[in-house]
């Protein structure tokens, strides 16, 4: 474990209300490319042509070409060490909430339950016309776009460009940010508002900010108390080995 990992562990053990903010980078080790990377979906599909709400309303079948590729990608992925570690920290009562910008559901597969899905999820869908809700398993994708009984096009409950963050996710995320004394920012460029505002809210409330990211982000050096230049999987593999041994000793 590096000195940086050790400092992070100290902050984690001292915290009373830790919150994680995660982005696409945390799922790269699960085989899901960052959408903005050279091999991501935005390299194949123009985001405003295929990912905007106006595009869906104009031609839902066309936008479903993108949605189907995204859905297939996330459904085939499995959690990595970072997802499992965050799930374990929540189970032990250290981590109070995970705010994720991802729509892959890997935090839940990794054992977490208090997950705030800031940009929605592929697990559920709704009719764009009558707003009827569906479980994804109920919706046949044999013909695109899938249609509701009312005739309207059905779509996943993911946030498209041009749409706002769901009210419940928005309020829960900002409440968690304002309450936390430690925010772990893992695998996000922190460049997309309003999620990028969450670390600033936490900092103003007195929280320590730890960033875990192998690449440079838009988080300012003044905002971060600690930067770990590793992937989330690498960092949490080191940290959880020591964390688990400490908790085992305390329990015994």
- Contact of 120 with 70, CB cutoff 8 Å: no
Catalytic site residue from 83, 107, 119, 238: 119
232 near 82, Cβ under 8 Å?
yes
- CA dist., res. 234 & res. 213, Å (int): 10
114-157 confidence digits (pLDDT tens): 999 999 999 999 999 999 999 999 999 999 999 999 999 999 99
pLDDT, residue 251, reads 43
Structure tokens of 119? 């940009």
User: What is the rounded distance in angstroms from the CA atom of residue 251 to the CA atom of residue 70?
Assistant: 43
Are 147 and 248 within one domain? no
Is residue 107 flagged as an active site residue? no
Are 19 and 66 members of one domain?
Answer: no
Q: Are 64 and 169 members of one domain?
A: no
What integer pLDDT is reported at residue 250 of this predicted model? 37
- Would the pLDDT of 46 be above 60? yes
> Do 44 and 153 fall into the same domain?
yes
The last residue of one of the domains, among 106, 141, 158, is 158
Query: What is the CATH classification number for the domain harbouring 144?
Result: 3.30.1600.10
**pLDDT number for residue 3:** 75
Same-domain status, 2 and 71: no
Structure tokens at 38: 């050279």
Residue 221 confidence (pLDDT): 80
Please tell me the predicted confidence (pLDDT) of residue 242.
82
pTM for the predicted model, two decimal places: 0.92
Same domain, 40 and 17: no
Which domain, by its residues, includes 69? 33-76+122-158
Q: Decide if pLDDT at 226 tops 50.
A: yes
Residues 107 and 224 in one domain: yes
Distances (CA, A) of 10 to 6, 184, 189, 213, 241: 6, 13, 25, 19, 14
**Which percentage of the chain shows pLDDT scores above 90?**
72
Side-by-side strand order, sheet with 208-212: 115-117, 95-100, 18-22, 182-186, 208-212, 226-228
Which of 213-217, 222-226, 245-249 is least confident? 245-249
**Residue 195 sits in the same domain as residue 243:** yes
* For range 90-95, the mean pLDDT: 94
- Report CA 181 to chain centroid distance, whole Å: 20
Identify whether residues 51 and 19 lie together within a single domain: no
pLDDT at 228 over 50: yes
Q: Residue 40: its pLDDT value, please?
A: 61
């Amino acid at each position: 474990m590096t000195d940086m990992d050790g400092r992070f562990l100290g902050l984690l053990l001292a915290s009373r209300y830790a919150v994680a903010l995660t982005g696409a980078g945390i799922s790269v080790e699960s085989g899901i490319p960052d959408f903005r990377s050279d091999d991501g979906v935005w390299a194949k599909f123009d985001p405003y042509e295929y990912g905007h709400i106006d595009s869906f309303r104009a031609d839902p079948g066309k936008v479903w070409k993108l949605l189907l590729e995204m859905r297939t990608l996330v459904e085939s992925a499995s959690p990595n060490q970072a997802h499992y570690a965050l799930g374990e920290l929540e189970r032990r009562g250290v981590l109070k909430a995970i705010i994720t910008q991802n729509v892959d559901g890997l935090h839940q597969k990794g054992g977490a339950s208090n997950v705030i899905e800031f940009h929605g999820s592929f697990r559920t869908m709704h009719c764009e016309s009558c707003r009827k809700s569906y479980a994804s398993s109920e919706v046949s994708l044999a013909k695109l776009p899938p249609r509701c009984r009312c005739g309207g096009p059905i779509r996943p409950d993911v946030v498209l460009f041009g749409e706002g963050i769901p009210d419940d996710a928005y309020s829960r995320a900002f409440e968690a940010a304002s309450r936390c004394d430690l925010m772990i920012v893992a695998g996000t460029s922190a460049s997309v508002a309003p999620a990028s505002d969450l670390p600033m809210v936490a900092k103003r409330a007195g929280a320590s900010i730890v960033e875990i990211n192998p690449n440079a982000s838009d988080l300012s050096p003044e905002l971060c108390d600690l930067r770990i230049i590793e992937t989330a999987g690498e960092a949490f593999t080191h940290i959880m080995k020591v964390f688990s041994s400490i908790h085992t000793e305390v329990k015994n």
